[in-house]
Chain A
């Protein structure tokens, strides 16, 4: 039993650390990418995966089932809102005449 608890701890730590790494990579993309469409991609994909990994790590540590379900609900809500918002921003940028960057 102690080995199972220890495995859960280490798995949780690995999930959370990799999630934070994805957040850092998402911010790097936000700063370094050349146009708004690629920056949208970096932000929505990397940051949401990072949040998913952090929440997966915390679910492993959750003490009650309702706490775990609430964490999963938060993740699903952020995923839905980010997908919707990124689509709306990209469509508005396209309507404004901002062209995607062509091959150099």
Chain B
């Protein structure tokens, strides 16, 4: 379909948004701010893989996107529980 030659163009736009998001890694200032860029990678890479899979007529990229979604979840939660953990919480 001619419509999804645009899939490659849109994937490139999303890749540019990820590259621009890397500026946040440099500027910080806290570790959690840098972690936000990893979250950005998680959601945007899923969209990139889905669009690429449609543009190249390759359904297996959907499975890769599913794995990326799982890894993004595990990465964020591992960061909070291990790297940025605090002493016993006083509330909740």
Which A residues lie at the B interface, using CB under 8 A? 9, 12-13, 16-17, 19-20, 23-24, 26-27, 30-31, 36, 39-40, 43-44, 47-48, 50-51, 54-55, 58, 61, 67, 70-71, 73-74, 77-78, 80-82, 84-86, 88-89, 91-93, 95-96, 98
Contacts and interface: CB of A to CB of B under 8 A. Distances in A.
Interface of B: 1, 3-4, 6, 10, 13-14, 17-18, 20-21, 23-24, 30, 32-33, 35-37, 39-40, 42-44, 46-47, 50-51, 54, 59, 62, 65-66, 69-70, 72-73, 76-77, 79-81, 84-86, 89, 92
Contacts, number: 142
Chain A interface main SS type: helix
Contacts of B84: 89, 92, 96
Looking at B47, B69, B72, which has the most chain A CB atoms within 10 Å of its CB?
B47
Given A23-B47, A78-B42, A81-B70, 8 more contacts: A27-B40, A48-B43, A55-B47, A74-B69, A81-B42, A82-B72, A85-B80, A92-B84
